[in-house]
């Protein structure tokens, strides 16, 4: 690992952090340390980092803005690459936009709506990055990423990079090819539609306000924890099971929305995992419905 870090410095890669607490990089404010965390400043720098990781045969993974993710208390061994500043570029070309994987999805939806481009109104209140949204096929209000994505620039675990078309992404409800192949979206191209600017902004703001009013963003959280087991809705099942407000350690099932687990008092990943298992057992016992997590659970136990 020391030689790897030395070579990063030799390549003038500056944003390198040793034993970095991942609680600083997740919206849940939970997570043990990464052996090494790197924030590449450009795609070219990202390629250099990945080449060095592959040369040294180190375990690695990438993160975006840390929403929709639970990092266990033991942290992540090896290298964590964070898509952040430098990988948040935005290029507009008529109704087509090209955007970096590190770009904030909420910020993108806000900017694009003000330019009179329609297609991202649904994302007005979805936290996280563009890369994470493509990975999860994020959606709300009857639409999702698969409806607007033209192609995505993907980094695969073997270090290769390739552009994939919408069809090649194998999108379905909250899933994509990337979850099966552990690929990461470093750039995306979206096809949007010109429309009435005022109407688009109003719709986007309505979706943003709905999220703010109905979901508990006053505490650290990671968004929806469970996939909706259609035709049921996860939050409604949790509420009907009488679990809103149920707490383990510093983690609590939100009293506002049953599909949110909030960090109310320095929660550990172990607390959140305990709540997840309790919800699964209780909902199955009451309704014979199996709940599956939407959040990605990574890292090692302490």
Coarse DSSP helix, strand, coil percentages of the chain, rounded to the nearest 5 percent: 35, 25, 40
Are 132 and 106 within 8 A, CB to CB? no
Tokens of 162: 């390739």
Catalytic residue numbers?
A: 174, 224, 294
- Closest by CA position to 267, among listed 72, 128, 66: 72
Are 299 and 31 within 8 A, CB to CB? yes
Quickly list H helices, the chain.
2-10, 43-55, 105-114, 130-136, 177-181, 197-214, 234-240, 269-287
- Closest by CA position to 89, among listed 131, 51, 123: 131
Tokens of 180: 């099966």
161/115 Cα distance (integer angstroms): 31
Helix (H) or strand (E) holding 143: strand 143-144
Question: How big is the CA angle at 81 (ends 190 and 267), to the nearest 5 degrees?
Answer: 100
């Amino acid at each position: 690992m020391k030689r790897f870090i030395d070579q990063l410095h030799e390549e003038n890669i500056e944003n390198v952090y040793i034993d970095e607490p991942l609680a600083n990089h997740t919206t849940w404010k939970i997570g043990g340390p990464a052996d090494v965390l790197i924030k590449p400043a450009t795609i070219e720098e990202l390629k250099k980092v990945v080449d060095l990781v592959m040369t040294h045969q180190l375990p690695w993974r990438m993160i975006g803005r840390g929403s929709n993710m639970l990092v266990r208390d033991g942290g992540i061994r090896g290298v964590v690459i964070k898509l952040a500043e430098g990988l948040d570029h935005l290029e507009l070309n008529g109704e087509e936009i090209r955007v970096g994987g590190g770009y904030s999805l909420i910020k993108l939806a806000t900017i694009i709506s003000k330019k009179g481009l329609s297609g991202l109104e649904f994302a007005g209140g979805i936290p996280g990055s563009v890369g994470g949204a493509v990975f999860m096929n994020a959606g709300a209000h009857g639409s999702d990423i698969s409806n607007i994505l033209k192609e995505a620039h993907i980094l695969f675990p073997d270090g290769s990079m390739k552009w994939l078309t919408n069809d090649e992404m194998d999108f379905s409800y909250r899933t994509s090819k990337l979850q099966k192949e552990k690929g990461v979206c470093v750039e995306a191209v979206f096809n949007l539609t010109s429309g009435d600017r005022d109407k688009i902004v109003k719709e986007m703001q309505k979706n943003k306000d709905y999220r703010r009013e109905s979901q508990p963003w006053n505490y650290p959280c990671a968004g929806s924890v469970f996939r909706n087991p259609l035709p049921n809705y996860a939050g409604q099942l949790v509420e009907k099971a009488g679990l809103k407000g149920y707490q383990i350690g510093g983690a609590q099932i939100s009293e506002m929305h049953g599909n949110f687990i909030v960090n109310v008092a320095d929660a550990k990943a172990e607390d959140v995992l305990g709540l997840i298992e309790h919800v699964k057992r209780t909902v199955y016992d009451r309704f014979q419905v199996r709940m599956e997590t939407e959040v990605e659970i990574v890292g090692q136990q302490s």
